[in-house]
Amino acid sequence: MEKIALITDSSCDLPEEIINKYNIHVLPLRIIFQDGDYRDRVDITPEEFYRRLNTEMASTSMPSVGETWELFENLKKQGYTHVLAILISGGLSGTLRMVESLKEKTAELGLKLKTIDSKALSLGLGFLVMHAGELLKKNIPLQDIITKVESLVEETKVYFVLKTLEYLKKGGRIGLVEGTIGDILDIKPIISINKDGIYYSIAKVRGRNRSLNKIIDIAKEAIGNRKVFLAVMHGDALEEAQYIMEKLKEAKLNIVESFIGQTTASMAAHTGPGLVGITFCPV
């Protein structure tokens, strides 16, 4: 009998009730301040992170190899035979490569490891994990789950706008987003993730309010008539996130489940305060 463990990382932004519902194992990314490092969602909350961001910059690193291996050992002790790890875009983090580097050792341990590059983060990643969790609860064979999730990767979209590109530039995550004259002219790029899993600009508008309305239009057009899971995520910008969700619901989109949430510290370290984003995944 197969016993399949579902793993993701803390950038998934899934609420605790969803993590518990599907028995998802979460590898914490690391948040690094001057006084040491903190495990995302374990040692530091988004609220605590933003308070500290007022006085110092932070960086991030992938989950530790030791903590990851310890998880695999515990899964083996619990009788698991297979591990499905759906992780943050390999173009944005070394987490996927780190987990894949343990594949040979996990095989020696007696676990078959399959990794999927979500080409996403936040609830773009989280929704893929939710799909896998639901299929696991229905006892769907592992290969069928993998096929389904991989087919959804290309259709899952993440769009966001920032108050400043400063954090993306300093964190080395700027990707293909033009980050030079934008702040001077108040040009706000609408940022998404391309097929290689890195950030790029899909549109540019002048001013914050126009950027929020543009991201709504882009998401509405991309969703069309499809049934979707939908989330509006924010970085210490709740009122703007609520405004966007209200406009999306007014558009009578075919939303099966929706969330408004604050991004975890591992994303906020690279985007800073003021992020507002929309992500959706077809059902």
Q: What is the pLDDT of residues 86-110, one digit of tens each?
A: 999 999 999 999 999 999 999 999 9
State the pLDDT at residue 186.
Answer: 83
How far apart CA 159 and CA 192 sit, in angstroms, is 5
Report how far apart, in Å, the C-alpha atoms of 47 and of each of 13, 15, 20, 216, 254 are: 14, 15, 22, 26, 32
How far apart CA 249 and CA 32 sit, in angstroms, is 38
Average confidence (pLDDT) over 23-44: 96
Task: Please list the residue range(s) of the chain that carry CATH number 3.30.1180.10.
Answer: 157-282
Q: Which of 26-40, 184-198, 211-225 has the lowest mean pLDDT?
A: 184-198
How far apart CA 208 and CA 213 sit, in angstroms, is 9
Task: Give the ranges where 138-171 is alpha helix by DSSP (H).
Answer: 142-153, 166-170
Average confidence (pLDDT) over 190-212: 94
pTM: 0.95
| 137 pLDDT more than 80 | yes
State the pLDDT at residue 179.
Answer: 62
Helix (H) or strand (E) holding 197: none
Task: Please list the residue range(s) of the chain that carry CATH number 3.40.50.10170.
Answer: 4-153
Report how far apart, in Å, the C-alpha atoms of 196 and of each of 25, 110, 175, 282 are: 26, 32, 10, 20
| Range 157-282: architecture per CATH | 2-Layer Sandwich (3.30)
Average confidence (pLDDT) over 138-148: 97
| 201 pLDDT more than 80 | yes
CATH topology of domain 4-153: Rossmann fold (3.40.50)
Q: What is the pLDDT of residues 204-245, one digit of tens each?
A: 999 999 999 999 999 999 999 999 999 999 999 999 999 999
State the pLDDT at residue 154.
Answer: 94
